[in-house]
Amino acid sequence: MKLISSAASPFVRKVRVLVHEMGLTDAITEQQVTTTAFQSDASVIAANPLGKIPALVRDDAATLYDSRVITRFLNDTNDGAFYPAARIWETLTLEATADGIMETAVSMAYEVRLRPENEQSADWVEAQWQKTSRAIAAVNNRWMSHLAGPLDMSHIAVACALSYVDLRHDARNWRNGNDALAAWHEAFKQRDSMKATSA
């Protein structure tokens, strides 16, 4: 199988961290691409008509895309335990929250990195940050007991989301007022899978 990816994408990193955690690095090759919301790489478009990454090209079946589809596929086809039945709805909800943080943080980055300065909207950037900030606070205030439990896909998603906020929006200081989550993230970053996939 081949994973079409870009090192800076938090959605790609989610998949890459899972691949490392499950010991699947020898089963999946990576194709690094340079792609943006305004100019998608041709190989990305061929794999996903939406022009988004990651995409998992399978040898004998349809290409899969959307990080949550890919991670669920890898988990379910390799006897993984990253979507535990006993707490599946909590895992999926927290993963969706993390993905929402990624989406708003990526949107902020696109606004200032891809659009000409005279077309940028400070109001848009701030609105996206408010969503990001609220979601981070919600994880800190409501989900720490889950994050303290056995490793599942939501842990990986939250860690990748927060690391992306660090990468693109470090000046926003998301840690302020989120002490428990900040301490958890600092510890989680020390996992081999996180170190191996750092941008």
Tell me where in the chain the CATH 3.40.30.10 domain(s) lie: 2-77
Spatial distance between the Cα atoms of 26 and 20, rounded to a whole number of angstroms: 10
Tell me where in the chain the CATH 1.20.1050.10 domain(s) lie: 85-192
pTM (predicted TM-score)? 0.95
* Tens-digit pLDDT profile for residues 3-34: 999 989 999 999 999 999 999 999 999 998 98
Find how far residue 152's CA is from the centre of its chain. 14
Which pair of structure tokens corresponds to residue 3? 């994973």
* Tens-digit pLDDT profile for residues 38-63: 777 788 888 888 888 999 999 999 99
Q: Are 10 and 106 in contact (CB under 8 A)?
A: yes
Classify residue 132 as exposed, middle or buried by CB count within 10 Å of its CB (0-12, 13-18, 19+).
buried
Mean pLDDT of 95-122: 92
Looking at this protein, which amino acid is placed at residue 141?
A: N
The b-or-e profile of 79-116 (16+ CB within 10 A means b, else e) is ebebbbeebeebbbebbebbbbbbbbbbbbbbbeeeee
Q: Which CATH number describes the domain made up of 2-77?
A: 3.40.30.10
pLDDT at 97 exceeding the cut of 90: yes
Residue ranges in the chain assigned as alpha helix (H): 10-21, 42-47, 67-77, 88-113, 122-142, 144-147, 153-169, 179-188, 192-196
The second-level CATH assignment, the architecture, of 85-192 is: Up-down Bundle (1.20)
